[in-house]
Each structure stands twice: as C-alpha cells, then as structure tokens.
Amino acid sequence: MPISAERKKSFRTIGHKLNPIVTIAGNGLSEGVLLELNRALDDHELIKVKLGLADRDERKALVAEIVALPNVELIQEIGKVVILYRGNKKANPKLSNLHR
C-alpha cells in the first residue's frame, strides 16, 4: 500500500538527518549487499543509502531493483543518495529511526 504524501514528507524530514547506512558500489546488489540492506530495513525501517555509481542510468536501474524488493518504498532520490522505507511492526524502538 503506497504511503500518503504527508507521511512521505515527514519521512523525508527524518531521513535528511540520517547518515547513509549502506553503500552500493560497482558490484550492484550482490548477496552481501542484499543481506545488509534487508537487515538495515528490518532494524531501522527508514534508511539512507548511498549509490556509488557514476552513471545516472545505472543508478536509476539500481533504484528500480531495490524498490522491487518486498514492501520497500522509495521516499526520496537525490543524486547518489536514496531514502528507503519498509515498515516493521516488531521494530525495536531503540533501533528504529521512526520511534526515536
């Protein structure tokens, strides 16, 4: 279910203060990167990801692959940085970026 515009706006505000927790470089979505991306989304719900690819089309394709993952929502994409959200009903309040 898509998130409302108001909720996306509040997520962008929270995401602006975050540091990138995952960096994806030339190897793309390798198995290790996918595991770390899923772990980070489960723990933090809202994360900032840095894309270390120079080509804009490659970055767009990579973002499309990430958004195709189960329940992942793209909140914002600016240059080489994206903010992603995946809700977790059992999120640890000490780790979640939404419950602090």
| Domains defined along the chain, listed by start | 5-85 (3.30.110.60)
Give me the pLDDT at residue 41, please.
94
pTM value is 0.92
Give me the pLDDT at residue 12, please.
95
74: DSSP letter = E
H or E element in which residue 61 lies: helix 56-67
Give me the pLDDT at residue 94, please.
86
pLDDT tens series, the chain, 100 aa: 678 999 999 999 999 999 999 999 888 889 999 999 999 999 999 999 999 998 999 999 999 999 999 999 999 999 999 999 998 888 888 888 887 6
